Chain A
Amino acid sequence: MGAPVIEIRDVKKAFGAHAVLRGVDLDVAKSEVVCVIGPSGSGKSTLLRCVNFLESYDSGSIRIEGKLIGYEETQGGPRRPMSTRKLREMRREIGMVFQHFNLWPHMSALGNVAEPLERVRGLSAAEAGERGRAMLKRVGLADKAEAYPGRLSGGQQQRVAIARALAMQPRLMLFDEPTSALDPELVGEVLEVMRNLAGDGMTMLIVTHEMGFAAHVATRIAFIDGGRVIDVGEPRKVLHESREPRVRQFLQTYHDRNAF
């Protein structure tokens, strides 16, 4: 097996005096689906946002297929931020799906998917439209191509957002609580799309509160608290056999909340 698709080493990050990440190590291998769980404020989303450098990290390293993101490779000495052009080139290969979808409201569903293909991949309008439609079909929204985000349900919007990221043919996908802003009855359709993606062998790093999804789809689960990875391993091991008191405590409250 070659280098992991994502290699996170001793990543630290502080917002002012508040340390959010206190030395995180995590690898994601090709075609792996790693779910990151943990209490809110634990640094999960910040970690995810560091992977495509929407958020900068203070020290440590994050490598995408072996290439350091956000900073120029240096041998000792202070490191310099990566040029915006190089950063853009790396980001093209990293799909990202946001909690609040972040669709562009003045473009149709198809427009949202086709826009980056035209602007970034340099496809013609016709090619972009064709690939865009194929992507919308893949997430089950072939009939909504002309609809604007404001007319779509949350679940449909999120599926458009997934299609937008997917159309770029990324090497890996990041999901930042993709179902947290959705009404409960709309969560399933989004998870279904993600499950299919995982089945197709996409490398995925997912921050989520959907324990059921994590249990069934993840190859591994990482539990984060206080800016550190407390436990990581196969879903069964983390969810049912963890020796870490904080993991057990978190899962206990989770079970209590969902018992009725």
Chain B
Amino acid sequence: MSFDVLWRYAPSLASGFGVTVFCWGAGGALGVVLGFLIALGFRAGAAPLRWALRVFVEVFRGTPFLMQLFLLYAGGPAIGLRLSATQAGILGLGVYSSSYFAEIFRAGFAAVPQGQVEAAMSVGMTRFDTLKRVILPSALVAALPPIVNTLIVLSKETVVLSIITVPELMYQAQTMAAETFTAFEAIFALAVFYWLLVEVVSRLGRRLELMATRFLSHEAL
């Protein structure tokens, strides 16, 4: 293995890593917010809206991200959607992951025991207050572990953005490999950076879960 190639390309790899983290963060945040709104629509929306959301989720969960990204970036201008590669990448990640987050939040809502909702109804609380004060706290805590998990999966989906020339880590590693004929070094660099990212995220996630569980249950400590 040639370390001086890695050393020489370190700045571009580091900038690629920065772009990866940025796209992943922005796309993931967009996905979480969108997914939450979709799950709210599932719960409280009228039948046609629920049906439309169901189709949306099935389409974006059921087709490859690569295909979605191509369609968005290459086909977008046909419907007046002109995006830079990075913008398209972030939007694509957000929409794609929102279909997963929507299902996670939906399951989280469903996990709140009906009895807690009935107790709120029986004292005459409004549906909004019931959602805000009774359902959400429990539902969000239940949703946290699968959200962290999906965010980790998503961090690795960012490699697909290299296909539409977003200058993220995969793109920089491929450039390095092509310019210096060092395939192994490129893979090594990718592995180290992604492992680093996932490790940090999962540690943060675990800490968050612990805090959330303490907040929610106060039981069996």
**Which residues in A have some Cβ–Cβ distance to B below 8 Å?**
52, 54, 84, 88-92, 94-96, 98, 100, 102-106, 115-116, 119-120, 148-151, 161, 164-165, 168
Contacts and interface: CB of A to CB of B under 8 A. Distances in A.
A163 to B, nearest CB: 12
B220 to A, nearest CB: 7
Contacts of A115: 133
Interface string B158-191: 0000000000000000000000000000000000
Contact of A148 (B121, B138, B218): B218
Interface in B116-158: 116, 118-127, 129, 133-134, 137-138, 141
B137 A88 contact: no
Given A89-B124, A119-B133, 20 more contacts: A90-B124, A92-B124, A95-B122, A98-B118, A104-B116, A104-B119, A104-B120, A104-B134, A105-B217, A105-B218, A105-B219, A106-B137, A106-B138, A106-B216, A116-B120, A119-B125, A119-B126, A150-B217, A150-B219, A164-B123
B88 to A, nearest CB: 40
B115 interface: yes
Nearest to A111: B133
A167 to B, nearest CB: 9
Nearest to B218: A148
Given A102-B119, A106-B138, A120 B124 contact: yes
Interface of B: 113, 115-116, 118-127, 129, 133-134, 137-138, 141, 215-220
A119 B218 contact: no
A168 B123 CA distance: 8
Nearest to A55: B118
* The 10 nearest A-B residue pairs measured at CB: A150-B219, A148-B218, A92-B124, A102-B115, A102-B119, A116-B123, A96-B122, A88-B124, A91-B124, A106-B137
Contacts of B124: 88-92, 116, 120, 168
A161 B118 CA distance: 13
B118 A102 contact: yes
